[in-house]
Chain A
Amino acid sequence: DAGVTQSPTHLIKTRGQQVTLRCSPKSGHDTVSWYQQALGQGPQFIFQYYEEEERQRGNFPDRFSGHQFPNYSSELNVNALLLGDSALYLCASSLGSGGAYNEQFFGPGTRLTVL
């Protein structure tokens, strides 16, 4: 049973470019959350997708957008990249109906470097 997978593992972009990161949830999970983790910091919540819709959003600008597909996989898109967008981007999957005990399983992350 595969856990949460993310691609690519590393990515280097230049300022102003656009990037797409991909996530496949753990088998049986229907909810995907995205987080940004700067070096030495805790993850910051970007947004959560459930039933192909954005269900909750953190304090990130509209340059950050996402999508969830019918097979529950998800993409995170970042437009007009800034140097400050350099971070580890984590995807976490869970069961949407689990309530307070909807344990999140994290993927290994995508390391994005913006030059």
Chain B
Amino acid sequence: KNQVEQSPQSLIILEGKNCTLQCNYTVSPFSNLRWYKQDTGRGPVSLTIMTFSENTKSNGRYTATLDADTKQSSLHITASQLSDSASYICVVGFSGTYKYIFGTGTRLKVLA
């Protein structure tokens, strides 16, 4: 079954600390993996996009990694800020289609 699973479900950290979010997928055939940030009640905003040949991609304080062999990805947030409080969603695209599967997200709360 094609699935995208994220962990942890929720996370609370102090401002300035780093954190890492995990994504495991069983989507096949694989095309690309994306990380999105979604503020409550808003649409998701793209952070990174990676194909199977890329194993790391950065966007400011966000760094995503991809291991296509183990079908795992991580999103590392450096020096967290209060504005990083949001849900982070991992999305995997199917090769040869325009279809995507979204994970249920990790809810991050950054405290002052």
Residues in chain A within 8 A of chain B (CB atoms): 4, 31, 33, 35, 40-45, 48, 50, 55-56, 58, 88, 90, 92, 100-101, 103-109, 111
How many residue pairs, one in A and one in B, have C-beta atoms under 8 Å apart?
A: 57
The verdict on A100 contacting B102 (CB below 8 Å), with A106-B44, A108-B42 known, is: no
- Residues in A neighbouring B105, C-beta threshold 8 A: 42
B107 to chain A, nearest CB (A): 9
Expressed in whole angstroms, the Cα–Cα distance for A109 and B93 within the complex equals: 21
Which of B45, B51, B93, B98: most chain A CB closer than 10 A?
B98
A93 to chain B, nearest CB (A): 11
Tell me if B98 and A40 are in contact (CB < 8 A): no
B81 interfacial by beta-carbon distance below 8 Å: no
How many residues from B make CB contacts under 8 Å with A? 24
A114 to chain B, nearest CB (A): 18
A4 to chain B, nearest CB (A): 7
Q: Which residue of B lies closest to A58 (CB)?
A: B99
The verdict on A45 contacting B99 (CB below 8 Å), with A100-B51, A100-B93, A103-B49 known, is: yes
A65 to chain B, nearest CB (A): 18
Among B32, B45, B89, B99, the residue within 8 A (CB) of A100 is B32
